[in-house]
Amino acid sequence: MNVDTMRNIDYFAGVPLAFGATIAKKGLDFFLPPMKKKAKNVLLIELSEMGSAILVDPAMRKLKANIEGELYFVIFSKNKASLQLLGTVKEENIYTIDEDGLTNIATSTLKFFQWCRDREIDSVIDLELFSRFTALLTVGSGAVNRVGFHAFHNEGLYRGDLLTHKVAYNAHQHIAKNFIALVDALLSENQELPYLKRIIKDEEIKIAKATICEEEQASIIVTVSQMYEGFNREKNHIVLVNSNASDLLPQRRWDRENYGEVIKMILSANENVIVLLTGAPSEKEGAGLLANYVNNKRCINFAGAVKFLELPALYSLSAFMLTNDSGPAHFASITDMHTFVIFGPETPALYGSLGATTPIYSAMSCSPCVSASNHRKTPCRDNQCIKIITPDWVFNTLKFKLDALN
């Protein structure tokens, strides 16, 4: 479903539904006060961002270590694979909502409510930033403990009064720390308004690393060898380039020609480097256009060449990656590979990778122009924050990693 359509439904249908649900829930609680219950079977809700499934992992691991029951997760079906990279949540504990059309969303949502009751979900943490849909999922789950970000006195972010643990979203600290604050609010024995009154240290958001076996790496080497004749693992260095950005925020895209110029510089600087253009199978055509622009046999259209769950093995074999501010930057953080991430309408201070990374960010006076308060939608049609970043700027930033290969 189109992103703007989903936003409109979330606003025009979500606001009145959240208001109605608030009235109904408060009335029900008045006549049948809910019993307090310690968190045991906890559900996390994060539907729309694959990268967030990685950024929330430190919070999930903390939660998992502090509850006696099970950890569950609900996510859009197209994003489920991102949860499987680290395996923090059991496969059977993941529920997917089919976002392909209103009928499918409604059907899978109704089934979700029963799924929660079958698993005796007692606590829900809503990880989304002020989504009305997830607020309704939270209260519809039947959970006694409901944790999420609350607007308090912020205008325009209404999504009802459905939470038992209201956390103040901090727009000045990394989103991974905000996720930790949600977990701490659930685990806290003290009633606070708002949650959470403590310092969250950088050490608390260190990302776990994927376990990669030699067989997985060997399989990737075979695939690369099939696409680049004469590939020599001891001689050739793999550099990855992800030029794609999702439709969720098209202002993040850097021009294809810019990527092409940087790739030409990389290939000229080191004759033993091969550049693999990564992406999903649906992005193969765009990667092909970029490969044609570079016009060098050492620049290979690799989109769709490996499965999603094989990405950690590919990353572990690569020297570094250049990418847009998108999912791959976060997927790579579970390995030791260095990433260079081009930021525009968002800021690395809030959404930077938790792995070895170097952000490339112009920090214009209007940036970041997307945030929780505008549901990540900007009126900008001239993304100078990206356009001002030149191929020379990017190449000079990553050159130190390239020099280290010589």
* CATH number of domain containing 28: 3.40.50.2000
pLDDT of residue 11: 83
Are both 139 and 188 inside the same structural domain? yes
pLDDT tens digit sequence for 287-319: 999 999 999 999 999 999 999 999 999 999 999
Are both 194 and 267 inside the same structural domain? no
pLDDT tens digit sequence for 194-206: 888 999 999 999 9
CA–CA distance, 239 with 259 (Å, rounded to integer): 13
Are both 48 and 192 inside the same structural domain? yes
What the block records as the tokens of 241 is 């380039």
Residues 187 and 39: beta-carbon distance below 8 Å: yes
Are both 173 and 218 inside the same structural domain? no
| Mean pLDDT of the region 378-393 | 91
What pTM was computed for the model? 0.93
Q: Which of 175, 205, 235 is the last residue of a domain?
A: 205
Are both 291 and 382 inside the same structural domain? yes
Max avg pLDDT among 19-33, 338-352, 376-390: 338-352
Q: Is the pLDDT of residue 248 over 70?
A: no
Are both 170 and 267 inside the same structural domain? no
Are both 320 and 353 inside the same structural domain? yes
- What is the chain's mean pLDDT, rounded? 93
Q: Which of 173, 205, 237 is the last residue of a domain?
A: 205
Cis peptide before 71 (omega within 30 of 0): no
pLDDT of residue 176: 97
What is the three-class DSSP state of 242?
A: strand
Are both 150 and 244 inside the same structural domain? no
Bridge partners of 124, per DSSP, are 43, 146
Q: What is the DSSP letter of 43?
A: E
pLDDT of residue 247: 62
What is the three-class DSSP state of 406?
A: coil
Bridge partners of 301, per DSSP, are 277
pLDDT of residue 246: 63
Are both 105 and 185 inside the same structural domain? yes
> In what helix (H) or strand (E) does residue 238 lie, and over which residues does it extend?
strand 237-242
CA–CA distance, 200 with 196 (Å, rounded to integer): 10
pLDDT tens digit sequence for 53-103: 999 999 999 999 999 999 999 999 999 999 999 999 999 999 999 998 889
CA–CA distance, 368 with 344 (Å, rounded to integer): 7
CA–CA distance, 260 with 248 (Å, rounded to integer): 24
Q: Hunting for tokens 């038992």 — which residue is that?
A: 164
Residue ranges making up the domain that contains 346: 214-403
Residues 326 and 346: beta-carbon distance below 8 Å: no
pLDDT of residue 30: 85
How many angstroms separate the first and last alpha carbons of the chain? 47
Q: Which of 205, 226, 250 is the last residue of a domain?
A: 205
Are both 256 and 176 inside the same structural domain? no
pLDDT of residue 20: 93
For the stretch 67-105, what's the b/e string if a residue is b when 16 or more beta carbons lie within 10 angstroms of its beta carbon?
Answer: bebbbbbbbbeebbbbbebbebbeeeeebbbbbeeeeeb
Q: Which of 6-20, 50-64, 121-135, 137-151 has the lowest mean pLDDT?
A: 6-20
Give how many domains the chain has, as a whole number. 2
Are both 109 and 185 inside the same structural domain? yes
